Amino acid sequence: MKEKLLPDYEKIHDWELWSRNLKTEYRQCIDEGKDVEKYKDLFFAISNMENGEIKEKFADVLFELIEETGVRDGYKYVEPNDIESIHKECEGTGKKTECPKDEISDRVLGGWYGRICGCFLGKPIEGGTKEEIDTLLKATGNYPISRYIDKEDLKCDVPIRSFLKERLYPKDFGRMPVDDDTNYILIGYEILKRYGRNFTSEDVMRVWLSAQVKDAYCTAEKVAFKNFVNGFLPPDSAKYKNAYREWIGAQIRGDFFGYINPGDPRSAADMAFRDASMSHVKNGIYGEMWASAMIAAAFTAGNVKDAIKAGLDEIPKNSRLHEAILRVISDYENGVSSDEFFDDFHKRYDECDPHDWCHTISNAEIVTASLLYGGGDYAKSICLAVFQGFDTDCNGATVGSVLGVLLGYKNLPSVWTERINDTLESSLFAYTTVSVKEMAEKTLQFID
């Protein structure tokens, strides 16, 4: 009998096998309002099976069941995936506010540097629990966090996982190391360079397939990449066996679209939609639209609250993300203190649950609160974002990007920007090492 050819399932990354993420899939389905509670035992039974061909066959049947399942009665949210319906459900007017031309260059450079420095602050402690982060900060004399976490400061044995110690960078590192958060600014540039402002989701897919290797992508992005290779085109590439379809991956990709649409949050959001919908659905899409629109608005908004609200106007008003961000704003306006807000936040979300830790909504709350309670102070804001744990580099980057544009490069403290030494590394084939200032200058060519 001829031997049957099968993949080595143990060698396949967990992110690439939907069958290994069925508990996350169940949470995601419940969040979306799908009527899957009757299948809960089936989700968990298949999840606990030994990895292999039989488990994959059972998972395939479960996927078909999920696809045929409707929304449960009483689900209150309205969360479309197409841009026309999104526009109908949002409160934005599409109005553009002119940014003085002599300010644009400095604000774009501020966005690049603001994002990169915020990311660098959070990068060493990404994946650590709040307890581990606090332990590390106390051991390095940096609690609560107020500066970069330096390798030289860790002179004692502290009870944290080894990867956190290994990630620390020396003071003289002299550049921003490779990170997916900063890779996506360069990918945004490459998309516009190849296809112009009217790029499509399929154009984004083509850039992804040619710009860097599969291992450079994470969670929903890695699933989408695999789906591209297997012939699934956007938006199906976002939906097929993608348990991470509302995670934070798209929210960290929209900055470049904000930079090239100063004072025009609607155009920034629409570009972000075309990018996000290839790998995400619903609030995963809205996260990128909100972040990109918020950055575009920061060119002319004058303060962080107005920028946040301008971003909020570009996503569906009856979505979970809109509700969550509005709640943060309401708490802030009603006198809830920063400590009170974040104490409550940590009670509502479980950092040990990957779905909470990496979801768009939980991290968007951190971003919103850090911007509001940071009061327009760059250092205070990025430190607040990183200090909370969860997706530290992503949140530090987004907060930094908004404030970098709002304040402009000339107003960013040099103690943060000098550490980068005008040098950004990436995993993109054509951009392994670039000058931040040169890339910011090149960004200007795509502004209408």
pLDDT for the residue numbered 158: 86
pLDDT for the residue numbered 160: 87
For the chain, domains (ranges, CATH) are 9-67 (no CATH), 97-123+176-446 (1.10.4080.10)
For 203, half-sphere exposure in the C-beta direction (CA atoms, 13 angstrom radius) is 17
pLDDT for the residue numbered 3: 81
pLDDT for the residue numbered 159: 85
pLDDT for the residue numbered 4: 86
Residues 6+ apart with CB under 8 A from 23: 43, 44, 47
Neighbours of 73 (CB within 10 A): 7
pLDDT for the residue numbered 156: 73
Percent of the chain past pLDDT 90, that is, above it, reads 96
Per-residue pLDDT of the chain (448 residues; tens, 9 = 90+): 668 899 999 999 999 999 999 999 999 999 999 999 999 999 999 999 999 999 999 999 999 999 999 999 999 999 999 999 999 999 999 999 999 999 999 999 999 999 999 999 999 999 999 999 999 999 999 999 999 999 999 977 888 888 998 999 999 999 999 999 999 999 999 999 999 999 999 999 999 999 999 999 999 999 999 999 999 999 999 999 999 999 999 999 999 999 999 999 999 999 999 999 999 999 999 999 999 999 999 999 999 999 999 999 999 999 999 999 999 999 999 999 999 999 999 999 999 999 999 999 999 999 999 999 999 999 999 999 999 999 999 999 999 999 999 999 999 999 999 999 999 999 999 999 999 999 999 999 999 9
pLDDT for the residue numbered 301: 97
Q: Write the pLDDT tens digit of every residue in 319-348.
A: 999 999 999 999 999 999 999 999 999 999
Where b means 16+ CB within 10 Å and e means fewer, 324-349 reads bbeebbebbeeebebeebbeebeeeb
SS (H, E, C) 303-350: CHHHHHHHHHCCCCCCCHHHHHHHHHHHHHHCCCCHHHHHHHHHHHCC
CB 245 within 8 A of CB 220: yes
pLDDT for the residue numbered 1: 61
The first and second tokens of residue 277, run together, are 């919908």
Q: Write the pLDDT tens digit of every residue in 179-229.
A: 999 999 999 999 999 999 999 999 999 999 999 999 999 999 999 999 999
| Cα gap 304→312, rounded to integer Å | 12
Tell me, what amino acid is at 22? L
| Cα gap 338→358, rounded to integer Å | 22
Would you call 14 helix, strand, or coil by DSSP?
helix
List for the chain the helix, strand, coil content (%; round to 5).
60, 5, 35
Structure pTM?
0.97
| Cα gap 252→239, rounded to integer Å | 19
pLDDT for the residue numbered 313: 98
Per the listing, tokens 């609690």 go with: 143
What does each C-alpha distance from 364 to 13, 39, 333, 356, 442 come to in angstroms? 27, 30, 18, 11, 29
